[in-house]
Structure formats: structure tokens, C-alpha cells
Structure 1
Amino acid sequence: MSPSTAPLPADERIPFLTVTNWVRSAAVCGFRIEPFFLEMGLDLARLHPTEATVSVEEIQLLMARCVAEARRQDPQLHFPQVLGETFAFEYLADVETFITTSPTLRAASPALDWISALVNPHMALKLQEHGQQARLMLSFTREDATPGTTWHFAEAVFVTFCKFARLMLGEPAQTGQLSFQHAQPEGAPPLRNALDLPVLYGQPVNAILFERALLDRPLRGALPSLHQAAGQRVAEQLSRQREQQQPAASRPDPHSLTAQIESRLLRTPALLGEGIEALAADLGLHPRTLQRRLREEGQQHSGIVNQIRHQLAVDWLKHSHDSVEDIAERLGFADRRSFSQAFQRWQGVSPSEFRRQGNP
């Protein structure tokens, strides 16, 4: 059965930073996308990618129209593949700089979280490692997301990933495998022909499997100073974005449970690594009661812990002489590596580099 395209509820909007990529891909496929934009109500005369947003329903319908029109132009044209192959970070220049100047693919991995936050907050990219294998897994976090409504985007994302991996490694990966949750689209040219990788459909997850050693292979395009500077700029951009998205009315009331937890964790950082049960006991609450009250305030235990860890990590790296290992332990991380990975996501640089740069 071919994947279907059922529209999702138009109850929230997502960034449309990639608008020029859609325009270019449509042109490659031989059609003008402007009529489709007009149907969506986009004012092209005033449209600016850094400010444009679309609803989930609109982007789903736009993709369906583009897939059908590309096929009408040429049965061998597959719009998700073209969108992935022609993708460029035109309005995310710092993200592209961070990726393409990375010393290794592993060092570029914080961009996975950034891309989700900046392009589609309902898309989650997770790097997993086991034995000699690694896999990049893609999931869509909306409750109503199904393989039938997200398959086009899954294909485009992995085509883009393969494009940049080839660019950075200087050669195609010799081994690997793509898996998709959806059925193979009827009539579409096989992605295997474009990616030179085995492609499996109807699998439990959307993922690309590859040799773990590739994560740490030195890259010829490495430029450490550019890489670190770009990472910091992206981290600052995301911080500003979060502040703008949180209106004053939604910030924690000083008497709220969220504020109490933040205060308790700042005073007793040992609680950061002890789980929700220990925190609940410290507050005199049952863990389920704590979770329920946090949900009522629109918060999660893990989110508050990450926020406090970030705040304390920056403060201690700036103002203490504690080693990175000691700070990782005080913040409740399993080891230095897991702390460094988290800090890289937060700040765009490693803890050691952050300290070397003499932050403030």
C-alpha cells in the first residue's frame, strides 16, 4: 500500500525557514510553486523566511501537492528526494558553518538538536551507538503523527543527511542501511539508486545505520575557530528564541512549584542526579503528585533539571577552578563525556573550550 497523506490539525504553526529550498526544488522538478503558496495564504510580497510560519496542516498539504506535481512533470521525479538533494542552510548559515567545519561527525552532532528547534520542533533526531554500529533515528513527536503523514519529510531529511555526510567525509559511506516506517511509495524511483545504500520499508523506526568509527574519523574541512564561534552564535540564537517564545505571563510565579524546585536544586545540586523520587521526598510530596502538579504548570522534571544544570555549569566554569570531571559529577552526570555532550548542545562548545575562551 502506498503511503497516504492525511492532513493534520492546523492548531499550531512551525517555522518556514526552508521556504527558498522548496522554491528551488520545485524549479528543479519543472514547476512553479507560487500558486501553491498563494493557496496557503502566504503573502509573497512580504514573505521573509526568518519570520514566515506555516501550520502543520499547510506544510503537509504543500508537500502532497509538490509530490503530485513533480510526478506529473516526470514519473521519475520524487520531490522528497529532490528537496533533500538541493537543501541548503540559506537562513541558518551558522548551523551550516558549525557542521561543515567540524573536526568529526561526532563534533557536529549538537546540530541535530538545533535543526529540530529551528526548522521543526515536532521532529526529533537522536544519535545512538551500540558496539561497532551507530544509527541516527528520526521521530515525529506530535501525537497525531503517523508514517502516512510524515514519510515525505523522513525521506527528505535522510537524503539531506547523506548529502552532507558525503561532503564532509569526502566519499560515500561504504556500508550502511536506511530504514523507514512507511511502505515504499508506489511509482517513486527507489531511493537506493540515489543514495547507493540498501533501503528497507515498513520498519519499526526511521533510521540510518552506519559504522560507528565514522563518527570519529578526522574531517578535512575542520576549522576549529570557525566551528566554535558558529556554535556559540547558534546557542545564543536559540536562547533568544526561547526567551521570545515565553511571554512574561507564562514565566514561573515565584510561589509556584516550579520556582520552589528551581530554588531547591540551586541550593542542593546533589538532587540533580538523584531522580524525581529523591526530589519529591525532599519536597514532602509523592512522585506522582509532583509530576501532576508540574504538568498543571506546563513543566517537566527533566526540563527543570536541564535548565538548572546549564545555569550551574556556566557559573562554575566561569567562576570556579573545579575540573570538568568534578563539575560533571556535581551536576549528576554519569561521566565527563555525557556532560560534555549536553554542554555542547547548550553552548555550542565543549566545557573545556568554554573555559579557555575566558567567558564571560
Structure 2
Amino acid sequence: MPHSERTTSSSWALAIVQALELSGLDGRALFVELGVDPGLLNDPDARIAQDQMTRLWQLAVERSGDPAIGLNMAQVIRPAHFNVVGFALMSSRTLKDGFARIVRYQRLIGEAADLALEVHPDCYRLVMSIHGDRLPAPAQSHDAAMAYALAFCRWMTGRVLMPLEAHFAYPAPAELSAYQALFGCPLVFGAPSYSLSFSRSMMEEPLATGNETLAQLHDQLAADYLMRFERDRVTHQARQVLCRLLPQGEPKREAVASALRMSTRTLQRRLQDENTSYQALLDETRRELALQYLGQRQLTLLEIAYLLGFADPSNFFRAFKRWFGIPPGQYRERQLARRPMVNNEEDR
């Protein structure tokens, strides 16, 4: 069945283009090279295919030779990059409230991202997961999101705030200076997820720009926009639920329908309207997550099988061979053979 592709807002894509320009690249020219109309960047309501954004990052790294180029996003802060959500953020009472709004309206910025704001006894943790579409999300997209989130905190407070920790799911790069200069905190590589941890006092401190009346007005605008946007995007919402439920075992369609507050029959009909089915969506989600997990060297094949909801690892091996024609172990070996080993990686 046809695949319902994920998209990124043109406002966020414009921020990426501006970040690439800091490294001397012509982002609009790269879009042309990828077959994307750069004129879309001037239309705040336009959407750009997520896979095209992935290819943009890949081409940018190739041309610049800088795998940390995503960190440039910290230097291009503008509320408009968040579309209508940016104005709601500006009027938030605290950074905690602002992050909660980003989580709530994230799909307007980019459908490929899952965000969660975790509350811990000593901190708040913003956990990020960018799933990509047919192509696995590049490390640079995570770097960009984390860099932008931190820079926005600093812009909102007018202070050079430091996270408690920054976690990255990929192995430590050979050169860490750009990460150390930007984040200024302990860096953890090879982590289970991408996240930034902030002190509770920092997140709960009132902001000078906070305005509850304006925040509610902007919330209404963002909610209306989100309602129009999501009217035909049940596929994306169901995929997000699957990503959350898969580590607990293969999700039943009844559980997904319940999470989306609709009947199983309604879910089936809405997915059919978007040219897919529950089984096809489950298969696609497992397929793309498998590629991302195989890129994380600290995960064993057994762990990946369980993260994908397979009770029997042999079912994962059979499914992977059906998807890609080779066993997952062989696929990982080929991918690792193409990627140079970073310094001291073999010691971890």
C-alpha cells in the first residue's frame, strides 16, 4: 500500500538552511540539487518530506566534512522557526511550560520527532527521538534539535544556561570540542536515547516574557492549526503510539485505538482513508526502527528484537530478512564496515 510520508515544516527547514550557511554552504542550492523547490521555504504553511531533510543533512556533511554541523542550529534562533508554536513559547510562564508546549505541538514543527518531558526528583529531562521516514534519521537531526532547544532556553532567559547532562545515542565522535563548547556539561555518548537534563529550579523560574493571557491566545491558535493539520494524519499518530508500545510486546490494534481515543473500527477506516492498514503500519514502524537500532552498536540483536515487540527473536530475524533480503547481523556488519571507527570506540 502507498506510504503516508512524514513531513517537516518549512519554517524548521529554513532554520536548517540558515544553519548550513554558517558553514559556507548554500542550503537553497542543496535543495535544488535534491529536487526540492527552495521557494517552499518562503511559504510558512508548506511542508517538506522528511526523507528530503535527511538527504539534505547527508549532503551537508559530505560537502562540509563536518559531522557536527547540526550544532550550528544553536546560532540561528528565531521564534518563527517554530511556526505558530514559537509565539506560544515566548509567552510561557516558565521554561517548563514552554517545553510542555513544544511536546504538545511538536507535530506542527516536524512529524518525525517524538518528544517527552520527564519529571525526575532533581531535574526535568527533555527526551528526543527522531524516527525518520523511509530513511533512518541522521545524527545531525538530533544534534540540531538538541542544540536549538538549549539555545532557545538561553534566548528566553537571557542567560548562558547549562544543562546538567546531554545524552547522545551514537558513539562518541573523535572530536568533542564543538559539543563541549556548546553544551558545557557532562556528555554521555552511546546512551539509550537523546536527551537534555535541566535543574528543576531553572525550569520552574518565572520568565520575564511570561504572559498568561497571550499564552492562552497562542495556545488556541496552535490548537486550531494542529486540529486542521491532524485531520488526515492518523497514520502519524498511530505510528507514535506504536513506537511507545513496541518495547512492551507486539501492540494490539485495540490498544492503539484506545490510545488515540477512537474505536478499532474507526482506526481501521481512518488508516484506510490514508492508504494504509494497521498491519502495514506496524510492519513499516518495525522496519524503520530496526535500522535505527542496528546503528546503535551497544544494542545486541536480542535486545533489538524485544524493543521491536518480537517475543521470539527468530521472528525478528525472519522479518528482517523479508524486509532487506539479509539477516540483521549481516546488515549491521556491512554498515559498520562502511563507517570508520572513532577514537577509543573499541574500548567502550
TM-score (norm 2): 0.62
For residue 127 of structure 2, give the secondary structure of its aligned residue in structure 1.
Answer: strand
Residue-by-residue CA offset, 1:154-185 (whole Å, 9 max, x unaligned): 11111111111112233233551101011133
Which of these residues, 217, 221, 229, is aligned with residue 229 of structure 1?
Answer: 217
In the alignment of these two chains, the number of paired residues is: 246
Taking the aligned partners of 2:42 and 2:159, their CA distance within structure 1 comes to 35
Out of 7, 16, 23, the residue aligned to residue 22 of structure 1 is 16
Instruction: State the partner residue of 2:201.
Output: 213
Contact 1:84 1:160 in 2 (8 A): yes
Which has the higher Rg, Structure 1 or Structure 2? 1
Residue identity matched to 1:23: V
1:302 aligns with 2:259: yes
Cα 1:26/1:101, change in 2 over 3 Å:
same
Once the two structures are superposed, the pairs formed by residues 228-267 of structure 1 within 5 Å of their partners are 228-243=216-231, 245=232
Aligned to 1:179: 167
- 1:99: Cα distance to partner? 0.9
Percentage of matched positions with identical amino acids? 18
CA distance, structure 2, for counterparts of residue 172 and residue 189 of structure 1: 18
- CA, structure 1 residues 186+53, in 2 after alignment: closer, same or farther (shift >3 Å)? farther
Given that residues 95 and 203 in structure 2 are in contact (C-alpha distance below 8 angstroms), is that contact kept between their aligned partners in structure 1? yes
Q: Partners of 2:170 and 2:3 in 1: how far apart?
A: 23
Instruction: After TM superposition, give the deviation of residue 115 of structure 1 in Å.
Output: 4.6
Which residue identity lines up with residue 103 of structure 1 in the other structure? R
Which residue matches 1:37?
A: 31
User: Is it true that 1:122 corresponds to 2:112 in the alignment?
Assistant: yes
1:59 aligns with 2:17: no
| Contact 1:116–1:122, Cα closer than 8 Å, also in 2 | no
Q: Which residue of 2 aligns with 1:95?
A: 85
* TM-score for both structures, normalised by structure 1: 0.60
**Structure 1: which amino acid aligns with 2:155?**
L
Counterparts in 2 of 1:221 and 1:129: CA distance versus 1, 3 Å:
same
1:29-50 per-position Cα deviation (integer Å, ceiling 9, x unaligned)? 1121233211221233566443
In structure 2, distance between residues paired with 1:185 and 1:301: 42
Partner of 2:327: none
Tell me: CA distance 1:70–1:142, structure 2 relative to 1, closer, same or farther (3 Å): closer
The 5 Å alignment of 1:1-360 reads: 12-17=5-10, 18-45=12-39, 48-71=42-65, 78-90=68-80, 92-141=82-131, 149-174=137-162, 176-187=164-175, 189-243=177-231, 245=232, 291-292=252-253, 294=254, 300-304=257-261
Identify which range, 19-28 or 213-222, moves more after superposition.
Answer: 19-28
Deviations 1:166-212 (A, max 9, x none): 12233233551101011133446431112222211111121111212
Partner SS state of residue 109, structure 1: helix
Q: Tell me, what secondary structure is at the counterpart of 2:260?
A: helix
Does structure 2 conserve the Cα–Cα contact (< 8 Å) formed by 1:10 and 1:58? Answer: no
3-state secondary structure, aligned to 2:140? helix
1:113-154 Cα deviation digits (max 9, x unpaired): 3452112222111011121222111123469776xx432111
SS of 2:125's partner is: strand
Which deviations, in whole Å up to 9, do the C-alpha atoms of 1:245-278 show, x marking residues without a partner?
Answer: 269xx9xxxxxxxxxxxxxxxxxxxxxxxxxxxx
SS of residue in 2 equivalent to 1:228: helix
How many Å apart are 1:51 and its aligned residue? 4.6
1:112 alignment partner, SS class: helix
Structure 1 residues 175 and 233: alpha-carbon distance in aligned structure 2, compared to 1, 3 A threshold: closer
Asked if the contact 1:127/1:137 (under 8 Å) is kept, the reply is yes
Structure 2: 5+ residue stretches without partners: 236-250, 264-348
Partner of 1:333: none
Secondary structure of the corresponding residue to residue 117 of structure 1: helix
Q: Deviations over 1:69-88 (max 9, x none)?
A: 233xxx6x942011243143
